[in-house]
Amino acid sequence: MRKRCTALTLATAMVAGLLTTTATAYADDLDGRQIYDDNCASCHDGGRGPQRGAERWQSRLDEGSETLYTHAIEGFRGMPARGGNEDLSDEEVKAGVDYLVAPVEDE
């Protein structure tokens, strides 16, 4: 009996997990590079926003990555909220930001 309950709990947890992940644009695959290529590169590699790895990121990073996350999620001057893709979850936008600043952060 006890074993059955555990199995049931597990199954419920798995279904709940599936439901939460399918609600986002990229399921549970938080590949910052893919997210960036699909949603951010058009501007950030196309001259409309600071380019990936550009030195301009250093001063922005000095504000703290939380500020960058908030700006990317809520929008900031020429930067549209979530890069203009309302389907992106907070975690997905953050993964895109991490990828965007990674070359500068690693220095």
Contact positions toward ligand HEC, by CB under 6 A?
39-40, 42-44, 48-50, 60, 67-68, 71-72, 76-80, 83-84, 88, 93, 96-97, 100
Give the residue with the Cβ less far from ligand HEC, 53 or 80.
80
C-beta of residue 33 within 8 angstroms of C-beta of residue 97: no
Q: How far is the CB of 50 from ligand HEC (least distance, A)?
A: 6
- What's the count of helices (H) and strands (E) in the chain, helices before strands? 6, 0
Q: How far is the CB of 81 from ligand HEC (least distance, A)?
A: 10
Give the residue with the Cβ less far from ligand HEC, 21 or 67.
67
C-alpha–C-alpha distance, residues 71 and 65, integer Å = 10
88 closest CA partner among 57, 80, 65? 80
C-alpha–C-alpha distance, residues 85 and 82, integer Å = 5
Q: How far is the CB of 103 from ligand HEC (least distance, A)?
A: 14
Q: How far is the CB of 17 from ligand HEC (least distance, A)?
A: 24
